[in-house]
């Protein structure tokens, strides 16, 4: 492993921390922003405007009404 040896313990500390799931993150945003509404675009992942432009556009249009 490259890098400076004095940084290795710090790297290990970071890898031992739990990672929040997407559901936990979205749930915490919904609690913090009570007027937010979650919309799922079923045929899309991280790039919904590319993967399902029609679904993305529909979700955005509905949110603006």
Tell me, yes or no, whether 60 lies in a domain. yes
For the entire predicted model, the pTM comes to: 0.49
pLDDT tens for 24-45 read: 777 787 788 878 777 888 878 8
Q: Is residue 58 part of a domain?
A: yes
Q: Check whether 3 has a pLDDT greater than 70.
A: no
* DSSP string for residues in 8-56: HHHHHHHHTS----HHHHHHHHHHH-TT------TT-SS-HHHH-HHHH
**pLDDT tens figures, 40-62:** 888 788 888 999 999 999 988 98
- Domain that residue 48 falls in: 22-64
Within a domain: residue 3? Answer: no
* Number of domains into which the chain is organized: 1
Residue 59 lies in a domain: yes
């Amino acid at each position: 492993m490259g890098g400076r040896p004095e940084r290795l313990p710090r790297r290990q500390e970071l890898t031992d921390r739990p990672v929040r799931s997407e559901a936990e993150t979205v749930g915490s945003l919904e609690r913090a922003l009570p007027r937010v509404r979650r919309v799922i675009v079923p045929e899309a992942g991280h790039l919904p405007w590319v993967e399902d432009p029609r679904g993305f556009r529909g979700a955005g249009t509905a949110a603006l009404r």
